[in-house]
């Protein structure tokens, strides 16, 4: 499909003026052929006229050869015919003649296919028959005919019915008599009348005009087709916002450059440059102001590229460049210089531009085809450049990132996960690990958190950090959440049936779910299908989810609590609006982020914050869980402050269900 599309692009980009030229020359050739055909037609007319002359000459020959009439009487009868003729013997002596005697050489002989082999015809006049060059046929010498007509045109009454002679074409006939020695020469005259020439001329002019009209139509059609193609290319390859080129143009002509045989030893850089927070700029100003900014960006980029380098707009506020490459330091310096110019487009605003660079080296990465061209896809290189730019997405500041092997491997891993996730889910390759929660005052197991692992037949045990971000990005996280709730409820039910003393297990639910009005009903149905008590399932919501849709969040929490589920806020303290969230949300458990316990700085400020957070939670009738606790000093401090549970490596790492069940 892609190859077909490239071929269509190639057809559109061809200059189709040559089609009109070919059509023009074809029409001219047709015109010449027609001219030749009309000449042959005129020859046919002349041939039909000469036939009567030929018959008369044959009668003269027959009269001469009768032999029962005296020679003087025969000559008298022949003279009465009014035709010029003469007779020679075998030695060339003239026996008798009438009129002017003309001599002929071999170059003047013209053999005529339609008569006997012993008959030869000669023409010694410029107005007459000439060889056609094909076989033994003859055509009229039109140029001489036109000259003759032009000399008499003022003397002739041009009437279609006129029998007045315009052109006389003499031709001598030589007949070898039956004795094999005597030659009889007679002069025949072909007379073309005004009527003959007018009919021929009208036919010729009519068809010539028709051919001229066809030529004009072909030329106009070629011009219209060329203009139409130019307009089509302007739409196909043009960017309506900036007035420059679009990504289709970049991909087509970029591939043309990097795939050329002569460029196989050259290196290029594909650069993706994106304006940070373009949509916010449009909201604060206007869409037209945003488009004006894009035009200014395109103009600035176009001024910064050299000959045989490309610049085009990708999507929204993203632009793509194809630049010549010498070394890594120079290309980064050049792109940084371009960004510094872009940042100065407005004195009132400080813009951020993030650029990703990938190096295109056809000699190393391209596949050389049989014709010596390079098989590479610049669209793939553009995607690589976008991947490099994505490494800067965590900040709004300007920056330049060069694609490295790790970025490529990370992207390949994302693609691999996306390809295999559905089959992994269907085959239940995802397994539940449990990390226990302990009461720091009694060291008693009081709960656990369910964490996902991917037990891949190909990659082994894959931790959540390598798959959860991918699931959140592609939306698969909602299916994973359902999978986890269902399996935790199944384990709880199994352990209860085995007589175990089960503890509540918390399960994370992604913020992606909160667009669903019936989330609480979905969770309730999943747990009920497995037969587990609701009080043994705790639903964890991340702090960031509280900032998306407050009303939707309140409805979900109310629905979950109505069904008997406990609700907790995960990663409390990682955001900036936690206190406001606590004010509005009727939560059951508050989980303190692990960052609270990493590096106090020696001034005790972290302990003060943790202590006050625990006190605040108690005043709001909430239990507290401290995550990421690894040392005894932290455990002792949290126990002293009244923290309800500790989840961390000090007590236990996440473990398979088979190991966790031994602890309960």
pLDDT recorded at residue 300: 94
Place of tokens 């005009």: 209
pLDDT recorded at residue 165: 61
Rounded distance between C-alpha atoms, residue 83 and residue 491, angstroms: 130
Q: Do residue 572 and residue 426 come from a single domain?
A: yes
Rounded distance between C-alpha atoms, residue 81 and residue 166, angstroms: 23
* pLDDT confidence band for 107 (50 / 70 / 90): very low
Pseudo-torsion of CA 588, 594, 600, 604, nearest 10°?
10
φ and ψ at residue 156, rounded to 5 degrees:
-110, 140
Mean pLDDT, rounded, for 539-545: 76
* End residue of a domain, out of 340, 370, 403: 403
Burial 553-567 (b: 16+ CB within 10 A, else e): beebbebbbebebbb
Mean pLDDT comparison of 136-140, 546-550, 638-642, highest-scoring range: 638-642
* pLDDT confidence band for 368 (50 / 70 / 90): low
Q: Do residue 140 and residue 286 come from a single domain?
A: no
Q: Do residue 573 and residue 638 come from a single domain?
A: yes
Q: Do residue 612 and residue 480 come from a single domain?
A: yes
pLDDT recorded at residue 529: 95
Q: Do residue 568 and residue 430 come from a single domain?
A: yes
Mean pLDDT, rounded, for 574-590: 73
Residue 221 lies in a domain: no
* End residue of a domain, out of 207, 235, 259: 207
Burial 514-544 (b: 16+ CB within 10 A, else e): beeeebbebbbebbeebebebebbbbbbbbe
* pLDDT confidence band for 136 (50 / 70 / 90): very low
* pLDDT confidence band for 164 (50 / 70 / 90): low
Residues 372 and 254: beta-carbon distance below 8 Å: no
Q: Do residue 364 and residue 455 come from a single domain?
A: no
pLDDT recorded at residue 121: 57
For the chain, give the mean pLDDT: 80
The domain that holds 298 is classified in CATH as 3.30.70.270
Reference 504, options 491, 514, 517; nearest CA is 491
Q: Do residue 346 and residue 463 come from a single domain?
A: no
Q: Do residue 382 and residue 438 come from a single domain?
A: no
Higher pLDDT, residue 200 or 482:
482
Residue 261 lies in a domain: yes
Mean pLDDT, rounded, for 360-379: 65
Residue 607 has pLDDT above 60, yes or no: yes
Residue 236 lies in a domain: no
Distances from the Cα of 435 to the Cαs of 56, 453, 506, 542, 663, in angstroms?
128, 12, 10, 18, 11
- Domain hosting residue 454, numbered range: 419-663
pLDDT recorded at residue 550: 74
pLDDT recorded at residue 511: 79
Residues 236 and 248: beta-carbon distance below 8 Å: yes
Residue 568 lies in a domain: yes
Residue 626 lies in a domain: yes
Tell me the pLDDT tens digit for each residue of 323-360: 999 888 999 999 999 999 999 888 888 899 999 999 88
Distances from the Cα of 395 to the Cαs of 123, 368, 391, in angstroms?
99, 40, 9
Task: Kindly give the residue spans of alpha helices, DSSP state H, lying in 84-141.
Answer: none
Cα 576 to chain center, whole Å? 46
* pLDDT confidence band for 133 (50 / 70 / 90): very low
How many other CB atoms are found less than 10 A from the CB of residue 430?
Answer: 21
Least confident of 240-254, 270-284, 478-492, 539-553: 539-553
Higher pLDDT, residue 458 or 515:
458
Residues 502 and 496: beta-carbon distance below 8 Å: yes
Mean pLDDT, rounded, for 165-189: 79
Residue 44 lies in a domain: yes
Residue 356 lies in a domain: yes
Residue 254 has pLDDT above 80, yes or no: yes
Q: Do residue 351 and residue 443 come from a single domain?
A: no
Mean pLDDT, rounded, for 138-158: 54
pLDDT recorded at residue 271: 94
Least confident of 126-135, 239-248, 301-310: 126-135
Mean pLDDT, rounded, for 18-28: 66
pLDDT recorded at residue 104: 59
* pLDDT confidence band for 411 (50 / 70 / 90): confident
* End residue of a domain, out of 351, 374, 403: 403
Considering the entire predicted model, what is its pTM? 0.58
Reference 397, options 348, 449, 343; nearest CA is 343
Tell me the pLDDT tens digit for each residue of 500-514: 999 999 999 987 777
pLDDT recorded at residue 500: 92
Higher pLDDT, residue 62 or 140:
62
Residue 402 has pLDDT above 70, yes or no: yes
How many domains are contained in the chain?
3
Strands (E), 440-554: 444-456, 460-462, 505-509, 537-542
Q: Which residues contact 514 (CB under 8 A, 6 or more apart)?
A: 545, 548, 549, 552, 553, 556
Rounded distance between C-alpha atoms, residue 277 and residue 295, angstroms: 16
Rounded distance between C-alpha atoms, residue 401 and residue 389, angstroms: 6
Least confident of 373-382, 455-464, 493-502: 373-382
Tell me the pLDDT tens digit for each residue of 512-541: 777 677 888 999 999 999 999 999 999 998
Rounded distance between C-alpha atoms, residue 8 and residue 296, angstroms: 32
φ and ψ at residue 366, rounded to 5 degrees:
-85, 150
Residue 372 has pLDDT above 70, yes or no: no
Distances from the Cα of 411 to the Cαs of 416, 529, 546, in angstroms?
9, 38, 30
Work out the percent of the chain whose per-residue pLDDT is above 70: 78
Place of tokens 């909602």: 478
The domain that holds 479 is classified in CATH as 3.20.20.450
Strands (E), 366-503: 367-368, 374-375, 399-402, 430-439, 444-456, 460-462
Residues 33 and 211: beta-carbon distance below 8 Å: no
Q: Do residue 369 and residue 450 come from a single domain?
A: no
* pLDDT confidence band for 544 (50 / 70 / 90): low
Q: Do residue 394 and residue 423 come from a single domain?
A: no
- DSSP conformation class of 309: -
Q: Do residue 585 and residue 447 come from a single domain?
A: yes
Higher pLDDT, residue 90 or 571:
90
Mean pLDDT, rounded, for 432-461: 94
Residue 161 has pLDDT above 70, yes or no: no
Residue 273 has pLDDT above 90, yes or no: yes
Residue 40 has pLDDT above 80, yes or no: no
Residue 241 lies in a domain: no
pLDDT recorded at residue 111: 39
């Amino acid at each position: 499909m892609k190859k077909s599309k490239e071929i269509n692009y190639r057809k559109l980009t061809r200059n189709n003026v040559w089609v009109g030229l070919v059509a023009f020359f074809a029409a001219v050739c047709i015109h010449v052929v027609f001219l030749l055909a009309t000449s042959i037609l005129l020859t046919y007319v002349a041939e039909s006229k000469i036939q009567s002359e030929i018959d008369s000459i044959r009668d003269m020959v027959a009269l001469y050869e009768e032999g029962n009439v005296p020679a003087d009487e025969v000559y008298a009868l022949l003279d009465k015919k009014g035709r010029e003729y003469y007779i020679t013997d075998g030695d060339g002596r003239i026996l008798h003649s009438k009129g002017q005697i003309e001599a002929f050489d071999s170059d003047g002989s013209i053999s005529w296919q339609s008569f006997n082999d012993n008959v030869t015809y000669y023409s010694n006049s410029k107005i007459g028959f000439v060889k056609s060059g094909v076989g033994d046929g003859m055509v009229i010498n039109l140029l001489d005919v036109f000259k003759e007509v032009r000399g008499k045109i003022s003397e002739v009454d041009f009437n279609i019915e006129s029998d007045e002679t315009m052109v006389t074409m003499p031709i001598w006939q030589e007949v070898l008599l039956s004795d094999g020695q005597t030659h009889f020469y007679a002069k025949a005259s072909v007379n073309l009348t005004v009527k003959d020439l007018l009919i021929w001329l009208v036919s010729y002019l009519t068809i010539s005009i028709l051919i001229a009209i066809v030529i004009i139509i072909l030329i106009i059609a070629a011009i219209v087709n060329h203009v139409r193609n130019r307009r089509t290319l302007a739409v196909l390859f043009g960017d309506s916002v900036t007035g420059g080129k679009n990504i289709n143009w970049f991909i087509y002509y970029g591939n043309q450059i990097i795939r050329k045989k002569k460029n196989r030893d050259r290196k290029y850089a594909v650069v993706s440059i994106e304006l940070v927070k373009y949509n916010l700029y449009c909201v604060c100003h206007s869409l037209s102001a945003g488009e004006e900014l894009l035009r200014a960006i395109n103009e600035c980029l176009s001024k910064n590229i050299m000959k045989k380098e490309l610049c085009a707009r990708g999507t929204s506020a993203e632009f793509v460049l194809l630049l010549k490459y010498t070394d890594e330091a120079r290309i980064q310096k050049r792109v940084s210089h371009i960004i510094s110019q872009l940042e100065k487009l407005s004195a009132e605003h400080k813009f951020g531009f993030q650029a990703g660079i990938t190096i295109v080296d056809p000699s190393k990465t391209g596949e050389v085809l049989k014709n010596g061209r390079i098989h590479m896809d610049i669209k793939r290189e553009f995607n690589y450049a976008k991947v490099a730019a994505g490494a800067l997405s965590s900040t709004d500041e300007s920056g330049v990132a060069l694609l490295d092997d790790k970025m490529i491997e990370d992207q390949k891993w994302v693609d691999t996960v996306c390809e295999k996730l559905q089959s992994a889910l269907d085959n239940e390759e995802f397994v539940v690990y449990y990390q226990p929660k302990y009461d720091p005052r009694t060291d008693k197991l009081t709960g656990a958190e369910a964490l996902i692992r991917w037990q891949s037949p190909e990659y082994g045990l894959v931790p959540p950090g390598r798959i959860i971000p991918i699931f959140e990005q592609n939306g698969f996280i909602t299916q994973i959440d359902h999978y986890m709730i269902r399996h935790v409820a199944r384990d709880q039910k199994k352990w209860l049936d085995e007589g175990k003393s089960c503890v509540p297990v918390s399960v994370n639910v992604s913020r992606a779910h909160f667009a669903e009005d019936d989330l609480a009903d979905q969770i309730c149905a999943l747990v009920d299908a497995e037969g587990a008590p609701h009080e043994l399932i705790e639903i964890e919501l991340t702090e960031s989810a509280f900032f998306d849709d407050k009303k939707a969040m309140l409805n979900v929490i109310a629905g979950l609590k109505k069904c008997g589920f406990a609700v907790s806020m995960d990663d409390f303290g990682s955001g900036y609006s936690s206190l406001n969230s606590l004010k509005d949300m009727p939560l059951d458990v508050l989980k303190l982020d692990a960052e609270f316990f990493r590096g106090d700085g020696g001034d005790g400020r972290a302990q003060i914050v943790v202590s006050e957070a625990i006190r605040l939670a108690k005043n709001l009738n909430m239990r507290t869980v401290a995550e990421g606790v690894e040392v005894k000093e932290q455990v002792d401090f949290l126990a002293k402050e009244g923290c309800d549970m500790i989840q961390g490596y000090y007590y236990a790492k996440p473990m398979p269900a088979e190991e966790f069940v031994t602890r309960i």
